[in-house]
Amino acid sequence: MSQNAKSHTENHMLPVFARADVAFERGEGVWLIATNGDRYLDFTSGVAVNALGHAHPHLVKALQEQAAKLWHVSNLFRIPEGEELANRLCEVSFADVAFFCNSGAEAMEACIKMARKFQAANGRPERYRLITFEGAFHGRTLATIAATGQQKYLEGFGPPVDGFDQVPLGDLDAVKKAIGPQTAGIVIEPLQGEGGVRAPEPAFFRALRQLCDDNKLVLIFDEVQTGMGRTGTLFAHERLGVTPDIMALAKALGGGFPMGACLATSAAAVGMTPGTHGSTFGGNLLAMAAGNATLDVMLQPKFFDKVQRSSLLLKQKLASIVDRYPDVVSEVRGEGLLIGIKAVVPAADLSNALRNEKLLTVGAGENVVRLLPPLIVNETEIEDAVSRLERVCVKLSKARGAA
Ligand SMILES: *Cc1c(COP(=O)(O)O)cnc(C)c1O
Within a domain: 4: no
Q: What is the pTM of this model?
A: 0.97
Contact 44, 372 (CB under 8 A): yes
Pocket of ligand 1, candidates 138, 257, 335: which has the most ligand atoms within 8 Å of its Cβ, to mutate? 138
Higher per-residue pLDDT: 401 or 129 = 129
User: Which of 400, 337, 333, 401 shows the shortest CA–CA distance to 367?
Assistant: 333
* DSSP-based three-state secondary structure for 122: coil
Do 130 and 260 lie in a common domain?
A: yes
* Average pLDDT, integer, range 310-323: 98
How many domains does the chain fold into? 2
* DSSP-based three-state secondary structure for 310: helix
Contact 260, 248 (CB under 8 A): yes
For the cut 80, the answer to whether the pLDDT of residue 212 exceeds it is: yes
Do 325 and 391 lie in a common domain?
A: yes
What pairs with residue 249 in β-bridges?
261
For the cut 90, the answer to whether the pLDDT of residue 160 exceeds it is: yes
Do 94 and 163 lie in a common domain?
A: yes
| Cα 249 to averaged position of ligand 1 atoms, centre (Å) | 9
Closest ligand 1 atom, residue 193 Cα: 15
* Average pLDDT, integer, range 328-356: 97
Looking at 279, 298, 317, the residue that finishes a domain is: 298
**What's the CA gap between 42 and 374, in Å, rounded?**
8
Provide residues with CB under 6 Å of ligand 1: 103-105, 108, 137-139, 189, 193-194, 222, 224-225, 250-251
Within a domain: 62: no
Contact 137, 194 (CB under 8 A): yes
Give the pLDDT of residue 1. 44
| Cα 235 to averaged position of ligand 1 atoms, centre (Å) | 15
Q: What percentage of the chain reaches a pLDDT higher than 70?
A: 98
| Cα 138 to averaged position of ligand 1 atoms, centre (Å) | 5
Give the pLDDT of residue 8. 58
Do 129 and 163 lie in a common domain?
A: yes
Do 78 and 34 lie in a common domain?
A: no
For the cut 70, the answer to whether the pLDDT of residue 4 exceeds it is: no
For the cut 70, the answer to whether the pLDDT of residue 55 exceeds it is: yes
Give the pLDDT of residue 7. 52
Do 193 and 333 lie in a common domain?
A: no
For the cut 70, the answer to whether the pLDDT of residue 40 exceeds it is: yes
For the cut 60, the answer to whether the pLDDT of residue 372 exceeds it is: yes
* Average pLDDT, integer, range 189-218: 97
- Which residues constitute the domain of residue 30? 24-55+304-402
Closest ligand 1 atom, residue 140 Cα: 9
Residue 311 makes CB contacts below 8 A (sequence gap 6+) with 232, 335, 336, 337, 339
Looking at 298, 314, 337, the residue that finishes a domain is: 298
For the cut 90, the answer to whether the pLDDT of residue 172 exceeds it is: yes
Q: For 142, list phi and psi in degrees, rounded to 5.
A: -60, -40
Q: What is the mean pLDDT of the chain?
A: 96
For the cut 60, the answer to whether the pLDDT of residue 189 exceeds it is: yes
Helix 303-324, helix 379-402: angle, nearest 10: 20
CATH code of the domain covering residue 171? 3.40.640.10
Q: For 363, list phi and psi in degrees, rounded to 5.
A: -75, 165
> 10 pLDDT band (50/70/90 cuts)?
confident
Sheet holding 368-371, edge to edge: 329-335, 338-343, 368-371, 362-364
Looking at 298, 325, 340, the residue that finishes a domain is: 298
* Average pLDDT, integer, range 118-125: 98
CATH code of the domain covering residue 323? 3.90.1150.10
Q: What percentage of the chain reaches a pLDDT higher than 90?
A: 96
| Cα 104 to averaged position of ligand 1 atoms, centre (Å) | 4
The protein residue whose alpha carbon is closest to atom 11 in ligand 1 is 138
| Cα 183 to averaged position of ligand 1 atoms, centre (Å) | 23
The protein residue whose alpha carbon is closest to atom 15 in ligand 1 is 225
Do 48 and 128 lie in a common domain?
A: no
Do 309 and 288 lie in a common domain?
A: no
Listed in sequence order, the DSSP H helices in 265-360 are: 285-298, 303-324, 347-356
Q: Is the dihedral of CA 34, 39, 40, 45 positive or negative?
A: positive
Give the pLDDT of residue 9. 61
Do 138 and 110 lie in a common domain?
A: yes
Residue 154 makes CB contacts below 8 A (sequence gap 6+) with 145, 146, 148, 160
| Cα 354 to averaged position of ligand 1 atoms, centre (Å) | 24
User: Which of 200, 201, 199, 167 shows the shortest CA–CA distance to 186?
Assistant: 167
Do 282 and 212 lie in a common domain?
A: yes
| Cα 363 to averaged position of ligand 1 atoms, centre (Å) | 15
Closest ligand 1 atom, residue 144 Cα: 10
